[in-house]
Amino acid sequence: MRYTVDAEAVLRASAHQVYALLADYHRGHPRVLPRAFTGLQVIEGGTGAGTVIDVDMKAFGRVRRVRAYVAEPEPGRVLEERYPTADIVTRFYITPLPDARCTVRIWSELNSKGGWAGWVERRLVRRYLAKLYREELTLIEKVAAE
């Protein structure tokens, strides 16, 4: 069963600054990752579409190394990470606002089991990821302002 998780915030940083930060997997993106994501390594590319990364994801006491493929469905506005082995797609939506501000939405689509076990999994994962995404949004604003 497919389900989604997201978090959104208005940040005091321009859309251009935020997009450039997130699309830079060598220096920028690693600086805004919550502590649950560690060991980010660039395998190919490093800036925007065509980048391939490996990262460790810690959740519920387990650490899992996953590979992501980066795309830019709307360059300058939407950055996408696909994690095929984890069956996850995460998108960063950046929308410019007046006064050098922007809205950033982190959205993920995941797969879970059906039935009662899937309901519990979805509930726990939604809560966990939403918290991580709020933390990441705070870090994005802090680093973009530097």
| Domain containing residue 139: CATH number | 3.30.530.20
pTM of the model: 0.93
- Structure confidence by residue, pLDDT tens digits, 105-125: 999 999 887 888 878 888 998
- State the CB neighbour count (10 A cutoff) for residue 12: 13
Estimate the crossing angle of helix 115-144 against helix 15-23, to 10 degrees: 120
The confidence score (pLDDT) of residue 114 equals 81
Q: Which H or E run contains 133?
A: helix 115-144
- Domain tally for the chain? 1
Query: Which range of residues forms the domain containing residue 28?
Result: 2-144
